[in-house]
Structure 1
Amino acid sequence: MTITSPSSSPTYTAPGSSLTLQGTASDNVGVTQVTWVNSRGGSGTATGTSSWTASAIALQLGSNVLTVTARDAAGNTATANLTVTLSDTTSPTVAVTAPAAGTTVTSTVGVSGSATDNVGVAGVQFKVDGGNLGAEVTTPPYAVTWNTTTTADGAHVLTAVARDAAGNMATSAEVTVTVANAVANANPQPIDVTSPVISKVSLSVTSSGATIGWTTNEPSDTQMEYGLTGSYGSLAPLNTALVTSHSQVINGLAPNTWYHFRMRSRDAAGNLGVSGDYKFKTRAH
C-alpha cells in the first residue's frame, strides 16, 4: 500500500480545506477494497483498488492523520499514513451589499452583506460608524435589521467585518448612507399595507431533506411550512433577517415520500405574504 499523491512523503501541508489522495496497492491474490479515515473525522471508500483515488477528503485546521487501508479477499490488510497540516492564514473577503452607497434611509432597513473564505466564514459583524450593529451573524444569509430612528440624521458609514475559525479578519469597503428620519416624519409616507410578493421558487431535494429558495419584492423574513398534507403541520425556524433572497433547509424527512410546502415572508411593516401550495417527493436513496 503506497500513497503517491499529493505527496509520497509522510507529511504534507494542504493549501485548502479538502484533499484528494491517490496511490497504489498490490496483493499476491488481489486487492478487493481501499478505504480511508481521517483522525479529525470522516471516512470513506476509495475508487479503484490496485490504482486508487480518494476524493474530497474534508480537512480540519491543524494536523489531520489520513490512514488508507487496503484489504484482500482473505481479510488481510495493509495501511499507509499521511499527516496533512491545514494552516489558514488567508483572510475572508467581505462586502456590504445593501443598502447601496448614497442611499437615503429612514425607519427600519435591512443591512446585508456577502462573505467568503478559503476554509469557511465563522461570522460577520455589521457596524455603523465603527460600532456594532446587532449581533454577529454566524450563518448565511448575512443580514441584520437597522432601526435608523436610533441614529442621528445625517451621513453614516456602514461596514462589515468577517472572520474565519483561524482568527483571520477582513473589513469591507465603507458604504456611506444618509439617515433622514426628520424629513420622513415631516412628509409621512403612506402606511404600508401590502404583503411581500413571493416568486422565483427553487427546489433541491435529497432522500432526507430539501432546500427551498425564493425571492420577494421587498425585504422580509424567511420561514416555511411543510408536511405530508396540504394542512402542513410543521414550521421551519424563523429567520428574522429582512432580505429579498431567501433560502431555507428542512431535514429529517422520510425517503421516497411526497411533502407539501409553502413559503412565508413578513415585511418590516408586519404584512405577511404566503405562497400557494407546492409539492416535492424525496429521493429513494
Structure 2
Amino acid sequence: MDRFIDVAPGVRLWAEDHGAPDAPPLLLIMGAQASGIGWPDELVGLLAAHHRVIRYDHRDTGRSTWAFDRQPYPITTLADDALAVLDAFGAERAHIVGMSLGGMLAQLLIADHPERLLTATLIGTGALSTAPWTHPDGTRIPPGELPGIDPRLLELWSRPVTDQGPEAEVERRTDHWRLLNGDRLPFDPEYFRALERRVIEHTGDHATNTAHAQADPSGMLRTEHLARTTVPALVVSAPAEPVYPPPHAHHLAQAIHGAHLVEIPGMGHALPPEVHAPLATAILAHTAGR
C-alpha cells in the first residue's frame, strides 16, 4: 500500500510497503536522484518474504515533492527524511539497506540514531570516515588516495542533458546503466529500458533533476561514531563497482566497528537480475534473528 508522508512544510514523500504488516520492518534507501522504484520489484519480493519492506522516493525524485529551487536543503536532511518514513509506518526500529548515496545516509543513521536500527546493509558507497584503509600487507592508505570513479562515467556526467523527449531520455539513462553495471555481468538493455520507463510512468515526467548534486554535502563525516558503533553492519563488496571501486568496500568495512563484508560476484553499481538472489540471500542472512 502506498501513501504520502509530510516531512516539512510543503514537502511530501511518496512511500509504499510490501510484505506482512507485522513482519520486521526493512527500509530501502536509494541513491542520489533515484526514485524508490529503482529498487527492483524482484528484489523487493524476495526481501518481503521475511520483512515488511518499505521503499520511498527521496524529495526531488519520483512522486515526492520537487522543490529544491524554492527550499534548498543539505544532504543530511535526506537522512532525517528516512527517519520520518519509519515514523510514518510506525517502525520504532528497523533494518535499513542503503545504496550509493543511500549507503551514506545509512551511515548517518548508524552514527546519529543507532537506537532506531536493528541492522544496516551498505551497498555501492564510500565511508564517511577519515580513517585510512589498512591493506592486507599492512600499508595504511588515506581515503583520498583510494581509486576514483571510472573516467567513462565522469565523461558521461560532464555532458549537458537536454530534453529530447521521453524515449531519448530512456536511451540516455540506459547508456548510463550500461556503465554503472560494470564489465563483468552481461548487460541487458531491455531490462533497464523497462525499469526507466516504469520510473518515468511512476514519476509522471521524464525530466531530470540535479537537486542532490546541488545539495550541501558538508557535515557528513562520522569517523568516531562509526568506529565505535554497535549497530550490526553488512558491507556489500561489488568487484565491478565503477563509482566506489575496490577497495572502497573493504575500507568501509574497516571504518565501521564490527562490520562484516560479503562479495556479490560480478556486481557493479547496478541491480540487474543476476544479483537479486545473492544480494537478497546476503541481506536476509544478516537480518535473521535480529
TM-score for both structures, normalised by structure 2? 0.18
More helix, by proportion: 2
Compare relative contact order (CA 8 Å, sep 6+) and give the higher one, 1 or 2: 2
Q: Which has the larger radius of gyration?
A: 1
More strand, by proportion: 1
TM-score for both structures, normalised by structure 1? 0.18
